Structure 1
């Protein structure tokens, strides 16, 4: 039985119908990926299901009391000032109590009775585990300063904050629009486990193929206003989609042959027609529509010349970078070779962007030497996106670099012709850059990078906001790209397909070189973890056999019995004191003292057992 569905929903955008009389339903426990080319209405359908957009026709039906959590591509934080205001919902009693508890802990002057009343309420509502879950999620997304102004956050930080809040609220349905954007790989893998734990109901749009395969059990394609359902992973979807399109072409060919015959009949018919003739005429127009077949999709064309590359490309010798007392990169040495295809891996903030800024000259190292070859020509696709003035036209942005561009086959084309190859028709070329969608801006940015004919290409998160079809074309281009490639991406599929070496940023300044792609590295790490888990306990220290204890050891053995008894008594007393204390500062002190006594007790007990063998 459906818990969320549409009833004959129709919606248009810019006088164009995205879909009409659409039926889309989710049952409890469904984990569905919604796919389709840019402009088909995927994000609009998510907004309609989340009831943030009202459809032109039809309605959304949902189970009574159903809580829907929606993550948009660009979260809206209007009327909210700080992170604290957003995280703790006013209508959620548990969250408000946890918020009050956190504020009390930070406050030096706390009323002990008020604090005790608050902790009693939290206990009564079983909110302590919930508080721990909240902290786990916030720490995972590196959200620590709750008083920070939301307006000061970057786009990526806002997206992570919105996702963290959705996970904290634990809705009945998770509707997620590009949830992996701005997340590092470790966080994506953690998110996969969270979304597949229990019987969560998930509907998502994502370009990350591994994420789709690991989360979803069903793919639904939105194509020309219709939904096509595929039970299986993304690879299965691609296979069956190709079969469906091939069948559509065959059906269109058959319809076209029949249409030609019917067209001859139509031309020979008199003006006055009977009922049977009218039915045949209606069939003719239906046949005419089917004979057109599937439309050819416009596709980006990537074919640019690569500048000649000399023997010396880029040499790093003991390169380091530090800010104040923090070392970002520590004494890294590497000589780039022809054919290098390197992926950068590591958590957000571990130094990947700093490394890219160092090798491209945007930053100077605080130690070591960077030597760039004379023929090395960088192409740097930056994560922060295209920088352009609000009054700049699309064509002007390209002409600022060059009026003419040489292609791989030696052909020289105009800036306008290149834009057309990148799916920017004339009406778009003369439009303003700030009118472009996020995906179009990314496509334009990629074009600007490639038209400079680089032989050392750096791509920092290229998959963000690019549709899967454009990504597929980019992958094909990069597989044949003869220059040096450095790829920073949370998309594990891209890393596996395009790189054969990793620079792993550990977060403490070290950069580890790993020969292999991300899948190789992950498999190796899992095997190491299994070996560690098999070690049940550390082997006991080997003690040389002797007949009896020395006089000194005998005295130590006797004193240990007394010391152990005293420690056990002290721990019991402290535990009693702890249960009767309401001052949170004193609570912390007592807890730390108990922990120290327990550590001492463990050490003395182990020593006593060792000596007891010879007593």
Structure 2
């Protein structure tokens, strides 16, 4: 493959540390590179060096003649012009030209909600009137429309919901499949790294190490590197081993993507226990919580913008002791409203929310306001302010030990809270919540500002949490890693169980969109009202439906019928297994959990089939 960008002997230093020291690397045609590393280690600096916008204190960067380099910087904030002018440049005034370009339509539809740019208030909206998240999407759309030979993206998944991240991954994979051009992306989204990248660069200790494969392959390679070199960082190595054990056991579909040796992985995790004992944690949670946690019954919440269609309607959802639930949905679909219903900060317009008398609730919010009162304290003092010791997984740990487990080395433990980085403040915020010993913990987008190592450390701490856990996140990897069950706000005002997780959520969204559901945003629309413009039944009933939509709906009906047949078979099989395991309480509990999930999915598939059938008949 021809070389597009070449870096030789790069040296970049700050007043207090060196970020890159004698780094030499190249980007070739067809490369799909993911960049990982701890916050502050120089990932963004490396991207700016490749783009030619970073200051080199030594070394040089050579770009092959005629090669165009485009970059999305975390600092990009386009202002003072319209969305169309930022995204389309000189073509903004020629709508008939750019609207006819399938590549441009794909980007505008995937990131901004279509040519009308519903996700940002219209293509004629002024950028100085947009929110930070909307500006970020506009900047990303602009660099993708430009389609440079070398595409450099710094945290492109920030401010994208699950649909947007899925669209971006598919877009970049399709771009890479052509074999032309190259991608270098910095991201903490581990699912995205595995879905898109074929090479991983780790920035650490002022050097850059390259590994074949995505995130899972990098985890294995790092464990092997530490084992071969007999590294003494025992805590970090054990954490990586645990992460690898989960990758091999908990997500079998992912393990076929990295090109690492299966026998090496098996040897490394042979004596590694599962991340958590779900049954034991549920039993402990039942003792602490009793039978009732939170019951959401027939709840209706009107849309804040008014109108006849509610944001949530006829929602019934019961949280069980020790349940670990991931909540997924498009921006604006009502995830935050659902969390506020659980906390009691929002009362339903109809129905009721009942909380158990023993519930002690804590929520990790997206802002860091609760740390303001302890900004004058050292990090370890802020933790001791809540509790000096706590029992974790049967062992008593001091505040200092907990702070270290969550990624604070000794020297950082005595840093003032106000001087900590965003990621460090986020970890401290979580640790203080855990020390208050809640038995119902709500996490609202907990991955903000955290690098991959910090995320693994956070997941390690939460593995031993014995209460009920609800996680709202667009990070698919985190949802799979922490949660045993998933629910989705698919865009029709309901909360639906997702036995197959995020993949099922995306399928349901696509099915609703194909059926002509009136209020469903486009698959990649990351703004707008989400569920707030949709009702509970499939749109199109009694209204004209075009031939293409009708064909898609009938195809989806056939798929749902096949799914119902498989679920019937699973249900019969689980009933038979329950009869055989009647004397084994643990087996009965596990089988009953699976059976309830199958029955719940069956009910929802039947409801989807009926709504879609009504839509087809109405057309």
TM value normalised by structure 1: 0.67
1:175 Cα shift?
1.0
SS for the counterpart of 1:60 is: strand
Task: Look up the match of 2:12.
Answer: 11
RMSD: 3.8
Measured after TM superposition, the shift of residue 320 of structure 1 is: 1.4
Partner of 2:68: 67
Instruction: Determine the C-alpha separation between the residues in 2 that align with 1:330 and 1:133.
Output: 32
Between the aligned partners of 2:377 and 2:127, the Cα distance in structure 1 is 31
In structure 2, relative to structure 1, the CA distance for the partners of 1:245 and 1:86 (3 Å cut) is farther
Contact 2:427 2:458 in 1 (8 A): no
Shift of the 173–368 alpha-carbon distance from structure 1 to 2, 3 Å rule, reads same
Cα offset, 1:148, TM superposition: 4.6
Partner of 1:184: 161
Report deviation, 1:39. 3.4
Partner-residue secondary structure (3-state), 2:289: coil
Q: 2:439 matched to which residue of 1? A: 455
Q: TM-score, normalised by structure 2?
A: 0.66
SS in 1 for 2:185: strand
Task: Tell me how far apart the structure 2 counterparts of residues 536 and 519 of structure 1 sit (CA, whole Å).
Answer: 19
Q: Match for residue 316 of structure 1?
A: 296
* Aligned residue number for residue 113 of structure 2: 139
Which of 476, 482, 486 matches 1:502? Answer: 486
| Counterpart residue number, 2:280 | none
Written as runs of structure 1 = structure 2, the 5 A alignment for 1:357-396 is 357-389=340-372, 392-395=375-378
Note closer, same or farther for the CA distance 1:471–1:399 as it changes in structure 2 (3 Å cut): closer
Whole-Å Cα distance in 1 between the matches of residues 224 and 194 of structure 2? Answer: 20
Match of 2:421 in 1: 437
Alignment partner of 1:87 is 2:86: yes
What does residue 26 of structure 1 align with? 27
Q: Distance in 2 between matches of 1:424 and 1:138?
A: 39
Relative to structure 2, which stretch is displaced further, 64-73 or 313-322?
A: 64-73
Aligned ranges for residues 1-400 of structure 1 at < 5 Å? 1-77=2-78, 80-84=79-83, 87-88=86-87, 92-95=89-92, 97-98=93-94, 122=97, 132-133=105-106, 135-136=108-109, 137-139=111-113, 142-146=119-123, 148=125, 150=127, 152-197=129-174, 198-199=178-179, 200-249=181-230, 308-322=288-302, 323=304, 324-325=306-307, 326-389=309-372, 392-395=375-378, 398=382
Alignment partner of 1:308: what SS? Answer: helix
Q: Following the alignment from structure 1 to structure 2, what is the Cα–Cα distance between the partners of residues 238 and 167?
A: 29
Over 3 Å counting, the alpha-carbon distance change for 1:418 and 1:153 in structure 2 is: farther
Aligned partners of 2:82 and 2:124 also within 8 Å:
yes
Aligned 8 A contact 1:393 1:429 in 2: no
Asked if 1 retains the 8 angstrom alpha-carbon contact of 2:440 and 2:468, the reply is: yes
Distance in 1 between the 2:311 and 2:138 partners? 25
User: If you compute each CA radius of gyration, which structure gives the higher value, 1 or 2?
Assistant: 1
1:294 to 1:94, Cα distance in 2 relative to 1, 3 A? farther
Contact 2:406–2:454 (CA under 8 A) maintained in structure 1: no
Deviation, structure 1 residue 182: 2.1
| Alignment CA distance shift 1:445-1:158 (3 Å) | farther
What is the rounded CA distance, in whole Å, between the counterparts of 2:462 and 2:372 in structure 1?
30
Residue 572 of structure 1 is matched in structure 2 by: none
3-state SS, counterpart of residue 235 of structure 1: helix
Q: 1:419 to 1:217 in 2, by over 3 A?
A: closer
Q: Shift in Å at residue 352 of structure 1?
A: 0.7
Q: Quick check: 1:500–1:515 contact (8 Å CA) kept in 2? A: no
User: What's the offset of the Cα at 1:3?
Assistant: 0.8
Question: Secondary structure of the residue that 2:463 maps to in structure 1?
Answer: helix
Deviation of the 1:486 alpha carbon: 0.9
1:334-370 Cα shifts (integer Å, max 9, x gaps): 2221122211122111011110011101111111111
- The gaps in structure 1 that reach 5 residues or longer are 102-118, 250-292, 540-615
**In the alignment, what sits opposite 1:549?**
none
Partner of 1:547: none
The aligned residue for residue 108 of structure 1 is: none
Q: How much does 1:376 deviate?
A: 0.8
- In the aligned structure 1, how far is the partner of 2:339 from the partner of 2:228? 47
Alpha-carbon distance, 1:162 to partner? 1.9
How much does 1:392 deviate? 2.8
Measured in 1, the distance between the counterparts of 2:555 and 2:387 equals 68
Q: Is the 8 A contact 1:67 1:172 kept in 2?
A: yes
1:448 and 1:487 mapped to 2: Cα distance?
17
